[in-house]
Amino acid sequence: MPAIQDIKVAVDAVVFGYDAKQLSVLLIKRGVEPFKDSWALPGGLVMDNESLETAVTRELKEETGVQIDYLEQLYTFGKPGRDPRNRVVSVSYFGLVRPNHFKIQAATDAKEVQWFPVKELPDLAFDHGTILNMAKERLKAKLQYQPIGFDLLNKEFPFSDLENLYTTILDHKIDRRNFRKKILSFEIVEETDKIHQKGSGRPAKLFKFNNKKYNQLLNEGFHFEIKIV
């Protein structure tokens, strides 16, 4: 028996931003029905001549003005009724950026665009709350087995910035002494001869991530793992 289908394919982007000890997510206010004037994740339908990656990059750029080099595929959401207009299957993606690296600007179906702290989110349209929650859990897990956090720091940083990043994203206190010992044992973070002075506080040495060393270790079978209990 031939399959009877009338299914559309969409993409949605969960873009997390980290800055000033705060994790945020990029949302748009919809300018059209359904859910007009509700906040939602950037995204839309995939055109016939597009790959999924091209579609999510285009939708993100069109609706928010943000262009990211790398978005990782998260999950496919296809529950019937998730979109009141049609049967829509959405392939979701997520990425992590520094908000001050972008100038956000709403366009096309987006009426507004704004960064929201993840702890102060509005109600979201469609099943975007479910998508976002899954993305948060994936981000927390990935931070503990891949050093993605270094992309969010300055090229040279006080070690406390790295500690704050992990504490903020994982939403969990860490044992600072053990964390420092573990990170430095990997030999992918180097101490520089520079000093960071902030206000009247104690001067702190600056560190930097050695990406070349990290890739070399990966080729040798290195396994990055940070367990936060």
Per-residue pLDDT reduced to its tens digit, 10-53? 999 999 999 878 999 999 999 999 999 999 999 999 999 999 99
Low-confidence ranges of the chain (pLDDT < 50): none
Q: Residue 190, Cβ neighbours under 10 Å: how many?
A: 13
Instruction: Specify which residues 45 forms β-bridges with.
Output: 10
| Per-residue pLDDT at 174 | 87
Instruction: Specify which residues 91 forms β-bridges with.
Output: 11, 76
State the span(s) of the chain assigned CATH 3.90.79.10.
Answer: 7-143
| Per-residue pLDDT at 2 | 75
CA distance 200 to 83: 55
Q: Which of 63, 72, 112, 187 is catalytic?
A: 112
User: Dihedrals φ, ψ of 192, to 5°?
Assistant: -100, 180
| Per-residue pLDDT at 56 | 97
State the span(s) of the chain assigned CATH 1.10.10.10.
Answer: 148-219
Parallel/antiparallel/unpaired status of strands 189-196 and 39-40: unpaired
pTM of the model: 0.91
Instruction: Write out the E strands in the chain.
Output: 7-19, 22-30, 39-40, 43-45, 72-77, 87-97, 110-117, 157-158, 189-196, 204-209
- Is residue 72 annotated as a catalytic residue, yes or no? no
Chosen CATH of 7-143 out of 3.40.50.150, 3.10.450.50, 3.40.50.720, 3.90.79.10: 3.90.79.10
| Per-residue pLDDT at 200 | 61
CA distance 217 to 188: 9
| Per-residue pLDDT at 162 | 93
Kindly report the CATH class assigned to 148-219. mainly alpha
| Per-residue pLDDT at 201 | 65
| Per-residue pLDDT at 182 | 92
